[in-house]
Amino acid sequence: MVSRRVALTAAGVGIAGVAGAAAVGAAMMDDERSPASASPGDAVAFYGEHQAGIVTPAQDRLHFAAFDVITKDRAKLVEMLREWTAAAARMTQGRDAGLLGAVGGQAEAPPDDTGEALGLPASGLTLTIGFGRTLFRDAAGADRFGIADRLPAALEALPHFPGDALRPEISDGDLCVQACANDPQVAVHAIRNLARIGFGVVSIRYSQLGFGRTSSTSREQTTARNLMGFKDGTRNMKLEDTDLLREQLWARAEDGAAWMAGGSYLVTRRIRMTVETWDRTPLAEQEAIFGRDKGEGAPLGRAKEFDEPDFDAKGPDGQPAIAKEAHIRLAHPDFNNGAHLLRRGYNFVDGSDNLGRLDAGLFFIAYQRDPRKQFVPVQRSLARADILNEYIRHVSSGLWACPPGVTGDGDHWGRALF
């Protein structure tokens, strides 16, 4: 094996040799890729005050789906939500989707579960539902299901941001389900079975597979890396930050929509990366763009990943150690009226485009109490000045009201709304 020293970072933190890099890879498989203090096969509780899949330690895989409601019949929609809830409660515990059993039912009818997750463990599966603006009012403003008066003010349509290249066919939607699991087959199975159960009531508008969490949502998890090779999620809101979560993650009745108390608002953005251009960018420039070094993930001018960034520090050239347009400065709460986000995005690679470039990037997922005060101002400051914009393009966007958790038998997704 070649044994050469690979200088991974201009800030001086290096990884010794290819063997060292392989060891880092192995450690990532063992530590970074599995939920904190649970084995990857374990089940996550479905019932609770809040929906699972928000502060749950981020699993390794994603299948996200946005649905259009294709019926005008409110009763059919509510019945489907009831059936979805029952199926979700079963599948998240490692069971099949159908009440008749995996291959149960009548021989002349399709089986009650598609079958591809039979024998697989629960794999940390969480299913998190969200409601889009268009469920409340259609494009012409008409009340589709008698819930227009419950449209939360916080679900105000996101503004256009400079540089947005959004494709309508992979944006928005009436409903969404975020399936996260440690086994891609389990996540895909869950979305597929919800779509099967919803036949005639909903149809999939678009869906997105993701791998390799790009955030940690618990202090017990090590920080994973995004496809630009940087540690991502270092200064994320985490499940241990209970006071901050109360203040910035969970919606309250007094925010305006009583049915959302204990819920949270979700912003999804499919962000394409021009990885080929990024891979030709000098290391020092990559690090200046984020304001962190690549090996350790420390803020520039500091030594360790979790050191607080010092935005006043100057480099040897007398310039700010963390550039004025660096990503971590522009996104920092100090420069955004104290706004925090709970990020839990995933990497994606959907093959390549017709120019032979990887169709790769970040499926950005962020939860918050009020996007008008959190995602919107942060994205405004990033869209205005972030040097990272040269290497990324936002191509899809979604905004969702994710209701509180289902509390037990008799309760179902959307009960308080409908």
- Tell me the window of 3-11, 40-48, 98-106, 376-384 that interacts with ligand HEM (CB under 6 A): 376-384
Please tell me whether residue 221 binds ligand HEM under the rule CB under 6 A: no
Please tell me whether residue 230 binds ligand HEM under the rule CB under 6 A: yes
**Cβ-based nearer residue to ligand HEM, 123 or 226:** 226
- Tell me the window of 45-53, 197-205, 226-234, 279-287 that interacts with ligand HEM (CB under 6 A): 226-234
Q: Residue 125, class by beta-carbon neighbours within 10 Å (0-12 exposed, 13-18 middle, 19+ buried)?
A: buried
Please tell me whether residue 364 binds ligand HEM under the rule CB under 6 A: yes
The candidate with the shortest Cα–Cα distance to 161, out of 349, 330, 369, 332, is 330
Calpha distance 81→266 (Å, rounded): 19
Please tell me whether residue 378 binds ligand HEM under the rule CB under 6 A: yes
Please tell me whether residue 208 binds ligand HEM under the rule CB under 6 A: no
Please tell me whether residue 233 binds ligand HEM under the rule CB under 6 A: yes
Please tell me whether residue 311 binds ligand HEM under the rule CB under 6 A: no
Q: Which of residues 44-83 bind ligand HEM (CB under 6 A)?
A: none
In the complex, least distance from residue 276 CB atom to ligand HEM, rounded to whole angstroms: 15
**Cβ-based nearer residue to ligand HEM, 112 or 287:** 287
Please tell me whether residue 228 binds ligand HEM under the rule CB under 6 A: yes
Q: Residue 15, class by beta-carbon neighbours within 10 Å (0-12 exposed, 13-18 middle, 19+ buried)?
A: middle
Please tell me whether residue 327 binds ligand HEM under the rule CB under 6 A: yes
Total Cβ atoms within 10 A of residue 356: 7
Please tell me whether residue 320 binds ligand HEM under the rule CB under 6 A: no
In the complex, least distance from residue 139 CB atom to ligand HEM, rounded to whole angstroms: 26
Please tell me whether residue 331 binds ligand HEM under the rule CB under 6 A: yes
Q: For ligand HEM, what does the binding mask look like between residues 332 and 361, x meaning CB under 6 A?
A: xx-------x--------------------
Please tell me whether residue 234 binds ligand HEM under the rule CB under 6 A: yes
- Tell me the window of 47-55, 144-152, 193-201, 266-274 that interacts with ligand HEM (CB under 6 A): 266-274
236, 248, 264, 368: residue in contact with ligand HEM (rule CB under 6 A): 236
**Cβ-based nearer residue to ligand HEM, 98 or 212:** 212
In the complex, least distance from residue 408 CB atom to ligand HEM, rounded to whole angstroms: 35
Q: Which of residues 385-404 bind ligand HEM (CB under 6 A)?
A: 392
125, 154, 188, 328: residue in contact with ligand HEM (rule CB under 6 A): 328
Residue 360 — φ and ψ, nearest 5°? -125, 160
How many chain residues interact with ligand HEM (CB under 6 A)? 27
Give per-residue burial for 296-307: e unless 16+ CB within 10 Å, then b. bbbbbbbeebee
What is the CA 18 to chain-centroid distance, rounded?
32
Please tell me whether residue 11 binds ligand HEM under the rule CB under 6 A: no
155, 197, 382, 406: residue in contact with ligand HEM (rule CB under 6 A): 382
Please tell me whether residue 226 binds ligand HEM under the rule CB under 6 A: yes
Could you list the residues that contact ligand HEM (CB under 6 A)?
A: 226, 228, 230-236, 269, 271, 273, 290, 292, 327-328, 331-333, 341, 362, 364, 375, 378-379, 382, 392
